[in-house]
Each structure stands twice: as structure tokens, then as C-alpha cells.
């Protein structure tokens, strides 16, 4: 989806007076809306715990005030601001909307880097398991060949 967002920002971002929104723009809007809806759903589900426990409350606070959660809130706020600027800016000052979309695209790209942070922590374990499985597979294949 970042490719579609990039394509939209680089090629199809024009003032409303010049060109009607393209399919790429609608795809980006739908993607951001579903992603934001999922974040809101997670917040609602996380808040539904049966009994009041200080431990649970502190875990919720730690989750919602972590760097990445605040970064995502900023990212969605910037996206909504970009859309607002896109729909309201005249052609003469449309460069402001383009700059806002470019910065928003940058924040979406940085947000996608979370995957690599998790992968860095899990990566060595996955590599170790992969090596163990491949070693066991070779031993198993050699044992089966010797028995036949």
C-alpha cells in the first residue's frame, strides 16, 4: 500500500480544480480509514476489562503512551490534515498540500519500519530454528537413505 500511496503523491496529486481524484487516492483513503478504524477498535477492546486492576491500567497506559502509538496518532492526524488541505487549497497555494502529503508519506514509511524492529528481535531465534530444522532434515534424509 505504501507503493500506491507513493504513486499517488508523486504522480496524481493535483488541485481539485484541475483534476478529479484518481483511483489511487481513493485506495489510499480506504487503506488509511481501515487502518485507523482498526486502531480505534483495538483501543476500545483493550479498555474492556472486567475488574479494575491497577496492573492492567498501568499496562494500558504503557501501551497507549509508547513511542509508536503516539507516532501513529501523529501520523493519522497528519493524514487527516493532508486530506483537508487537499480539498480546500486553491491551485495557487497547493504546494502546501503537496508538502503535507510528502511528510505524511514519510511518516507512513517510518511507521512501516516497526516490522523490522520486531524482526530484529525475533530474527536470531528464527534463524536458529531454521538451522536446527535443516540439520535434522539432512540427518533424517541420510538415515532413510541408509535404511533403504
Query: Cα-flanking dihedrals φ and ψ of residue 127, to 5°?
Result: -65, -45
| Rounded average pLDDT over 127-148 | 67
Say yes or no to pLDDT of 52 above 60.
no
Per-domain boundaries in the chain:
2-112, 118-148
pLDDT of residue 114: 76
pLDDT of residue 26: 93
| Rounded average pLDDT over 136-141 | 68
Higher pLDDT, 93 or 115: 93
- Enumerate long-range contacts of 75-78, CB under 8 Å, 24 or more apart: 75/104, 75/107, 75/108, 75/111, 76/32, 76/35, 76/36, 76/39, 78/103, 78/104, 78/107
Q: Model-level pTM?
A: 0.69
pLDDT of residue 28: 94
pLDDT of residue 56: 57
| Rounded average pLDDT over 4-22 | 88
Amino acid at each position: 500500500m505504501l507503493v500506491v500511496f507513493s504513486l499517488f503523491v508523486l504522480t496524481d496529486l493535483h488541485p481539485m480544480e484541475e483534476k478529479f481524484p484518481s483511483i489511487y487516492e481513493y485506495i489510499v483513503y480506504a487503506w488509511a480509514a481501515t487502518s485507523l478504524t482498526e486502531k480505534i477498535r483495538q483501543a476500545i477492546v483493550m479498555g474492556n476489562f472486567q475488574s479494575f486492576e491497577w496492573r492492567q491500567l498501568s499496562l494500558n497506559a504503557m501501551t497507549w503512551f509508547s513511542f509508536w502509538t503516539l507516532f501513529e496518532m501523529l501520523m493519522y492526524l497528519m493524514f487527516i490534515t493532508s486530506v483537508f488541505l487537499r480539498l480546500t487549497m486553491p491551485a495557487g497555494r497547493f504546494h502546501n498540500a503537496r508538502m503535507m502529503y510528502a511528510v505524511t508519506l514519510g511518516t507512513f514509511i517510518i511507521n512501516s519500519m516497526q516490522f523490522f524492529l520486531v524482526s530484529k528481535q525475533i530474527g536470531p531465534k528464527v534463524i536458529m530454528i531454521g538451522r536446527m530444522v535443516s540439520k535434522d532434515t539432512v540427518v533424517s534424509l541420510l538415515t532413510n537413505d541408509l535404511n533403504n
